[in-house]
Amino acid sequence: MSESSEQFVRPVLKNFIKSLRDIGYTFEIAVADIIDNSISASCSYVNIYAVQEENNAIFQLLDDGIGMTNVELIEAMRIATSDPDEKREKNDLGRFGLGLKTASFSQCTVLTVISKKQGQLSIKQWDLDLLAKKNDWILITPNLSTYSNLTLFKELNEIESGTLVIWEKIDRFESAQYALVLDKLRKHLSLVFHRFLSAHFDKKLRITINRNPLKPFDPFNTNHKATLEKAEEIINYNNKSIVIKPFILPHHSKVNQQEWEFYATEDGYIKSQGFYLYRANRLIIYGTWWGLHRATDAHKLVRIQIDITNDQDKFWGIDIKKSTATPLTEIKKELKNIINNVTKEGAKPFSTRGRIVKDKNLVRFWDRVVQPNEQYFKINFEHPLIIGFVRTLDNNQSFIFKNIVMGIETYLPLQAIQVALQETPHLMNQEILFPKDERIELVNKLTSLGFTDEEISGIIKSEIVK
């Protein structure tokens, strides 16, 4: 039997880098990954400065964290510098030791990091074009003076410690799109780090983009008196605690139009319902039911907060980007029970609205007919106004009138109505079709015909549906 032999096979670095760049980061997710490192470095602020110079987008991110020595910076620039299975500090938002590099490589081809610790500045750089050309991991030490004119480099010089991340040769979007990209970034960071930006902690984080401070976006609108906050539940799995807290947001009748649209987010209420997973207080994934429940209009106000510690990643399938997660089957079973309870409560603002009003004198134009296998809306031909009108018609006119009504019933634009109520409920105003002066005229006419005030009141309010 011959002895086995070993052969060293160097990877084609150019191809490896291309794969590394296409993990699936968006610009805002990549920036959030960099901020995770800043928070882990105990910073109190993160300043982002993003501008276009000669049609080239340049991105700078500075924190006032503990900083790194030259040796520590070299280690931080190493690919996969951390063991994902090692125990971490409870506030450490990292895991794989890949975030700084993979997030940066996904957006640019030149990554430069300048860090300050103990009064000393250190600088290192990855240039992906050079790596591909040399087919080796060559870490560059540029001259600090190259970056001395950068806005945030000057700020780094003035603080005791901190780290500056610089992206050059950004090539994932057209420079003309930079303003839109930054707007999306603001919204994403305001949501993902809303707990850090608020008074949730003793040490409040400040994040600015081009000198404009971010405001926290609390997806549960917890400060509104109409928000229903359900009791906290705890799931124990593998000696770890999973803390669940359901919320039901206010119905549109309880908030103004601006607030309603604000909490809908750009995705809308339908896509924003479901679970919101927080890992060490950082939002990982949101607006998902993980296939355990179907997103419906009736449950669009239901949002369920989940809190886990940073040592539960393997139970939740959290990826490198910290933007996707899928819990284990055993955990899903527990979550299913919670869904069933909270969605019943979440449907009440809609299922109880527009139902039977306890006013026996109220006469409606529309009736809802519910049968075992179908339901539909129909005109109420027992309405006093319709009865009175039909009596004035001859047979041909009565036939034409009934066919007109059947056409209105049959082609009632239910889908369009549903979409309008979902997207812009505050703009819906059917009463504009029945002006006040015409109502007054109708009241006078009915009075002259012998109707009582109580009967007239029921007719005027007849637009309420059973």
Please, what sign has the CA dihedral across residues 149, 153, 154, 155?
positive
Contact 269, 262 (CB under 8 A): no
Task: Decide yes or no: CATH 1.10.540 for domain 228-351.
Answer: no
Burial status of residue 275 (CB atoms within 10 A of its CB: 0-12, 13-18, 19 or more)? buried
Cβ within 8 Å of residue 310, ≥6 positions away:
88, 90, 91, 92, 93, 95, 279, 280
Is 461 within 8 Å of 366 (Cβ atoms)? no
The C-alpha angle 86, 87, 92, rounded to 5 degrees, equals 105
Residue 146 per-residue DSSP state: G
Handedness of CA 12, 13, 14, 16 (dihedral sign): positive
Domain segments of the chain: what residues?
Answer: 13-213, 228-351, 366-460
pLDDT 10s digits, 23-65: 889 999 999 999 999 999 999 999 999 987 766 778 999 999 9
DSSP assignment of 7-23, as one string?
------HHHHHHHHHTS
Fold of 13-213: Heat Shock Protein 90 (3.30.565)
Distance from C-alpha of 30 to C-alpha of 87, rounded to nearest angstrom: 24
**Exposed/middle/buried for residue 332 (C-beta within 10 Å: 0-12, 13-18, 19+):** middle
Instruction: State whether residue 233 is helix, strand or coil.
Output: strand
Q: What residue spans of 256-372 are helical by DSSP H?
A: 257-264, 268-272, 313-316, 329-346, 348-351
Q: Compute CA 59 distance to the chain's CA centroid, rounded to the nearest angstrom.
A: 24
Mean pLDDT, the chain, whole residue set: 85
User: How would residue 81 be classed by pLDDT, with cut points 50, 70 and 90?
Assistant: low
Domains 13-213 and 228-351 share a fold: no
**Strand ranges, E, within 387-460:** none
What are 457's two structure tokens?
């009141």
The model carries a pTM of 0.76
- 433 or 376, which is more confident: 376
Q: What is the pLDDT of residue 465?
A: 40
Q: Cβ-count burial of 334 within 10 angstroms (0-12 exposed, 13-18 middle, 19+ buried)?
A: middle
Select from 46, 34, 44 the least CA-distant residue to 93: 34
Convert the pLDDT of each residue in 90-135 to its tens digit: 554 554 456 799 999 999 999 999 999 999 999 999 999 999 999 8
Q: What is the residue whose two structure tokens read 């060559």?
A: 138
